[in-house]
Amino acid sequence: MNIREAALADWEGIWPIFREIARLGETYAYPTDIDEEQAQWEWMTYPRKTFVFEEKGSILGTYFIKTNNAGPGDHVCNCGYMVSSQARGRGLASSMCEHSQELATKLGYKAMQFNFVAATNEGAVRLWGNLGFETVGRLPQAFNHPSLGYVDALVMYKWL
C-alpha cells in the first residue's frame, strides 16, 4: 500500500471512484451528473495537491488538499477523501486523513476544516471525530440527500 502524489495520468483510476461517489449524491455536494472534465478540474486542478492510495498498481482511494480561504484564513486547509466501494472498511480513509494532516503541517497549515460533511455520513463523522476533529457548526437541512431529503451538514475542525 502506498500513498503518493497523483499525476495527471492517475485520473483514469480516480475518475471511476469520483463518478461513483458523485452519482450516489449521498456524501459530496457535487452535481450527480458532473461531467468528467469538470470533475477533473475539481479534484486535480483546483486543489493545491492531490494524492492517491495505491495497492498493487490499482488506485483504491484519493484525496486533495487545498487552502480553505485566502488572506487571513490561509493557514487553514481543506481536504476531501474518496475510497473505492470495493476498498471501504479497510482503513484507507483513516490512513489518507493521517497522511493529509502530516502533509498539511509540512505545507505550513495550522488547522484543517471540513466544510460540508453530511450528518448522515455516519462513518465519516465517526472517523473524523476519532482523528481529533470537532463539530464546530451545524447547517440545518443544508444537504439534499437523494433518499432522506434535507439533512444537516456539519463543519468539522482540527487545530494541527
Question: Which residues make beta-bridge pairs with 79?
Answer: 65
Mean pLDDT of the chain: 97
Predicted TM-score (pTM) of this structure: 0.94
Superfamily of domain 2-159 in the CATH hierarchy = Gcn5-related N-acetyltransferase (GNAT) (3.40.630.30)
Which residue ranges make up each domain of the chain?
2-159
Residue 127 — very low, low, confident or very high, per pLDDT cuts 50/70/90? Answer: very high
Calculate mean pLDDT across residues 130-134.
97
Using the predicted structure, report yes or no on whether residue 134 has a pLDDT greater than 90. Answer: yes
What cell numbers appear for 131 in the block? 482523528
Using the predicted structure, report yes or no on whether residue 1 has a pLDDT greater than 80. Answer: no
Mind listing the pLDDT tens digit for each residue in 19-52?
999 999 999 999 999 999 999 999 999 999 999 9
Q: Under a CB-based contact definition with an 8 Å cutoff, are residues 36 and 44 in contact?
A: no
- Which residues neighbour 26 within 8 Å (Cβ) at sequence distance 6 or greater? 118, 120, 121, 145, 146, 147
Helix (H, G, I), strand (E, B) or coil at 33: coil
Please spell the DSSP secondary structure of 66-127, one letter per residue. Answer: EESSSGGGTTEEEEEEEE-GGGTTSSHHHHHHHHHHHHHHHTT--EEEEEEEETT-HHHHHH
What cell numbers appear for 31 in the block? 452535481
By C-alpha distance, which of 48, 38, 45, 44 is closest to 59? 44
Residue 89 — very low, low, confident or very high, per pLDDT cuts 50/70/90? Answer: confident
Of the chain, the percentage scoring pLDDT greater than 70 comes to 100
